[in-house]
Every structure is written in structure tokens, then in C-alpha cells.
Amino acid sequence: MPRAGLSTAAVVDHALDLIDERGADALTLAAVAARAGVATPSLYKHVAGGLPELRRLVAVRTTEELTDHLAAAVLGHSRDAAVRALLAAYAGYALRHPLRYAALPQAPDPEPGPELAAAAERLVGVLFAVLRGYGLAGSEAVHAVRTLRAAAHGYASLTTAGAFRLAEGTDVTLERLTGVLVEGLANWPGAEGG
């Protein structure tokens, strides 16, 4: 019988706490079991697929968290204001959870499972929604979403990795990057009303 208070969601919570403290490489069933105060075999009652399933569940949760954070930030904004809110929220999430963010899957899993596929689709949907105000369609919308994602992820990854070591504040860098994106999107091929 599963331990009272332990559930699949609680196991994922313990896994995320471990990642937040020590990084994704520290994620093992033994380490999660120790945090949960159970023997390692007890975890299989909640994650029958072992470590691969736990990693997938962590990927689903982090993708959903990031998506929820971005969606809340852009709600009620359009065009330039939505892009600014998105980049600020993306960077904010990564800076608050740098090790969790580093564990977020960036490339599609060839067999993601329905939950991860749905979470990834929802995340990309938020990006498309942010760009809707520019009137982009078809392949131009895809290219614009890729550009937006590359800028957001690039800034977040470099900042959390400590790559920006010069004295100038990174908040100004983010402001400048956002300005470049907003200007570029307004003048994007096929964009409506600049």
C-alpha cells in the first residue's frame, strides 16, 4: 500500500526540490526516495517506469509551470507590450529557478507521451498568441515564434549560466534585446500595421 501523503505529484515535488538544490544530474530514484523518507522500491508505486518516467513527469511539470507563468504575464497585453511581458517573465522564471530551468527540455522528445506533447504544444501556443497582434501567418509566424523563443531562451540560459560578467546590468541588456525584437517584429515580412 502506498505511503500516506506520498503521491505521484509529491514524488515530482521532491524531484524538483532536488533539482533546484543540486541540478538535474543529481536526480536519482535513491535521492528522491531519501527526500521522501521511503525506500527506493516504494517510488515504483507512484512512478512505475522508474527514473525515465520521473524525468518525463519533471519535464511535464516544468513545461506547464513555465507556460502558466508566461500566460499569466502576457494576459491582457498585445503586440509590443505582450512581447515585453513575455521576455521579462521568461527571464524571471529562469532566474528564480536556474537549475530547474536548465533541466527544461528544449528539443522535442521523439516519443514524448501525450502529457509532455500537450504541455509543449501549449507553451508554443502561448508564443503564437503573443505574436498574433502582428498579423503573421503561415511560415512567417513559425519563423517569428522561433526567433522569439531563441531570444528568450538564449538570454535566460546565458544569464543563469553566469555568462554575462561585464559590469553593465543584465536588466538593461534584456531591455535592449526586447527593443530589437519589438522593432524587428513590427517590420517583419507580412506583419500588419507597424
Domain boundaries, the chain: 1-48, 58-186
Picking from 14-18, 71-75, 106-110, 189-193, which range would have the lowest pLDDT averaged per residue?
A: 106-110
Topology match between the domains 1-48 and 58-186: no
- 66 half-sphere exposure, CB direction, 13 A CA radius: 35
For the chain, give the percent of residues with pLDDT over 70: 95
Q: CATH classification of 58-186, choosing from 3.40.50.300, 1.10.10.60, 3.30.110.40, 1.10.357.10?
A: 1.10.357.10
100-112 pLDDT tens trace: 998 888 776 677 6
pTM: 0.88
43-60 pLDDT tens trace: 999 999 899 999 999 999
Q: What is the CATH code of the structural domain delimited by 1-48?
A: 1.10.10.60
Please say if the pLDDT value at position 98 is more than 60: yes
- pLDDT of 87 reads 96
Residue pair 123/116 in contact by the 8 Å Cβ criterion: no
Residue pair 63/116 in contact by the 8 Å Cβ criterion: yes
Among candidate residues 116, 92, 94, the one with its CA nearest the CA of residue 103: 94
| Burial 47-59, CB ≥16 within 10 A → b, else e | beeeeebbbbbbb
Please say if the pLDDT value at position 1 is more than 60: no
